[in-house]
């Protein structure tokens, strides 16, 4: 299983404040107090010494260093450099940019810009080596099962549709009782893709533990350092700047769907020329169900 340092060492383009907010729940109580100081006053932290941050958080200097290393950084100076980059890029991790007075045109522009910014940020967080490992597992899988609850269950259903069209044995489950039972029937060569906005859903974590005990491999699409990621074989981790405990996941869902697209296209390329004939047959079967001139 991938170690913690590797899991947290996301690409430099990731917004640091987004990562701090996502990782806070996985930190020790003392490190979480440092995270709170960073989230409450990032500009002040940028101008402050290590000892000043430690004093404001009521922790020791070594705790601040441990906090920085939990983010995959070498120390406090590396943290400040990354924080400066994050602030300079206009990082925002709350829904503060939308107001009740916005016109429909303003609202549309802000929502689309937020979605585009999220996808750009997530693209920089995905670790290429893990992505390649996930594609390899899926392309060779005897059976693929997608698990998700709530909005992530909808993403799981979309994933099943995409992989089913590739001619693979793929199903999706969004009922915790059903995927809990399904996990007991898996074996070596099977792959589960567990999708979660928080990575803390007890039923989902329980099901992937059962799947791994049965011999299946598990890929997680979840926040960095989350309990779900820590229990899987290949974590595809990213942080998104929205509070999924308060708001219905919007940009998180877009990032999940886009990552599923990346995986399905990667698997299609890995399967090679033999897939083309199957896709053509599927397309021919749909032509009679559409009006003339439609594709």
Residue 221 has pLDDT above 50, yes or no: yes
- Predicted local distance difference test score (pLDDT) of residue 174: 96
Q: Return the higher-pLDDT residue of 108 and 64.
A: 64
Domain 6-94 - what CATH class?
mainly alpha
User: Of 23-37, 66-80, 275-289, which range is least confident?
Assistant: 275-289
Q: Return the higher-pLDDT residue of 17 and 276.
A: 17
Residue 267 has pLDDT above 90, yes or no: yes
Residue 151 has pLDDT above 80, yes or no: yes
- Predicted local distance difference test score (pLDDT) of residue 248: 59
Q: Write down the pTM of the prediction.
A: 0.66
- Predicted local distance difference test score (pLDDT) of residue 110: 77
Please report which confidence band the pLDDT of residue 98 belongs to, taking 50, 70 and 90 as the band edges: low
Percent of the chain at pLDDT > 70 equals 81
| Mean of pLDDT values over 41-70 | 91
pLDDT in tens, 199-214: 999 999 999 999 999 9
Residue 225 has pLDDT above 50, yes or no: yes
Q: How many CA atoms lie within 13 A of 55 on its CB side?
A: 5
- Predicted local distance difference test score (pLDDT) of residue 179: 96
Percent of the chain at pLDDT > 90 equals 51
- Predicted local distance difference test score (pLDDT) of residue 95: 43
Residue 112 has pLDDT above 60, yes or no: yes
Q: Return the higher-pLDDT residue of 17 and 131.
A: 131
In CATH, which of 3.40.50.10490, 3.40.50.10190, 3.40.50.12240, 3.30.465.10 is domain 126-284? 3.40.50.10490
Q: Where are the domains of the chain?
A: 6-94, 126-284
The per-residue pLDDT of the chain, averaged, comes to 84
């Amino acid at each position: 299983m991938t170690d913690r340092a590797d899991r947290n060492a996301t690409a430099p383009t990731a917004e640091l404040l987004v990562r701090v907010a996502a990782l806070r729940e996985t930190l020790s109580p003392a490190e979480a107090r440092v995270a709170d100081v960073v989230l409450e006053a990032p500009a002040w932290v940028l101008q402050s010494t290590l000892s000043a941050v430690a004093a404001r958080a009521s922790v020791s200097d070594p705790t601040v260093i441990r906090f920085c290393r939990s983010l995959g950084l070498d120390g406090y100076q590396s943290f400040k450099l990354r924080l400066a980059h994050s602030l300079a890029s206009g990082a925002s991790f709350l829904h503060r940019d939308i107001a009740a007075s916005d016109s429909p045109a303003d609202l549309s522009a802000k929502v689309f810009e937020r979605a585009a910014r999220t996808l750009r940020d997530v693209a920089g967080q995905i670790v290429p080596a893990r992505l390649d490992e996930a594609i390899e597992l899926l392309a060779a899988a005897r059976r693929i099962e997608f698990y998700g609850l709530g909005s992530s269950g909808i993403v799981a259903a979309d994933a099943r549709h995409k992989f089913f069209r590739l001619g693979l044995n793929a199903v999706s489950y969004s009922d915790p009782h059903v995927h809990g039972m399904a996990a007991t029937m898996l074996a070596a060569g099977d792959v589960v893709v567990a999708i979660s906005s928080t990575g803390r859903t007890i039923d989902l974590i329980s099901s992937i533990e059962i799947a791994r005990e049965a011999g299946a491999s598990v890929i997680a699409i979840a926040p960095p350092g989350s309990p779900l990621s820590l229990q899987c074989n290949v974590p595809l981790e990213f942080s998104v700047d929205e509070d999924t405990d308060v708001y219905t996941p919007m940009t998180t869902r877009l990032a999940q769907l886009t990552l599923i697209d990346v995986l399905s296209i990667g698997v299609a390329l890995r399967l090679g020329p033999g897939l083309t004939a199957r896709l053509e047959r599927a397309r021919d079967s749909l032509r009679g169900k559409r009006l003339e001139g439609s594709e």
